[in-house]
């Protein structure tokens, strides 16, 4: 990929991140992300919490949320490190992929905040 195409795709990714913070597209995206979180994070988290409780390990919902948040932050940190390494190696295709993995959590966070703002 040429340098020009890489910069254009980077600008388009920045536009998508900016749109995720607005009330209409960001709120709608936040609603869809909230449903996704409910099915793929909350339900397995409740099952894990129940299994831990049955095993005699007292784990509250707040502790499980903090553990999931820590794992989420670790994924973001690893994506940022990988993005930096790919940029230093001048591998624009891999850098674009790592940048997208870094931007997706930001899009999710901004759109969930936009949904909360538009809900009130």
Tokens of 82: 């990988």
Closest CA to 93 of 107, 102, 83, 104: 83
Tokens of 112: 């969930």
Under DSSP, is residue 21 helix (H, G, I), strand (E, B) or coil? coil
Tokens of 102: 């870094």
pLDDT digits (tens, 9 = 90+) for 20-50: 988 888 889 889 998 998 898 889 988 998 9
CB 59 within 8 A of CB 52: yes
Closest CA to 81 of 94, 69, 65, 68: 94
CB 11 within 8 A of CB 101: no
pLDDT digits (tens, 9 = 90+) for 56-97: 998 888 998 899 889 889 988 998 999 999 999 988 888 888
């Amino acid at each position: 990929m040429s340098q020009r195409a890489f910069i254009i795709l980077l600008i388009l990714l920045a536009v998508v991140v900016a749109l995720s913070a607005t009330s209409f597209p960001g709120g709608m995206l936040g609603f869809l992300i909230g449903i996704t979180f409910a099915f793929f994070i909350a339900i397995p988290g409740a099952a894990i919490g129940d299994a831990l409780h049955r095993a005699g390990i007292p784990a509250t919902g707040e502790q499980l949320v903090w553990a999931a948040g820590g794992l989420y932050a670790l994924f973001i940190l690893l994506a940022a490190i990988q993005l930096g390494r790919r940029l230093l190696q001048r591998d624009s295709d891999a850098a674009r992929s790592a940048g997208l993995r870094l931007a997706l959590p930001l899009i999710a966070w901004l759109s969930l905040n936009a949904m909360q703002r538009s809900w009130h």
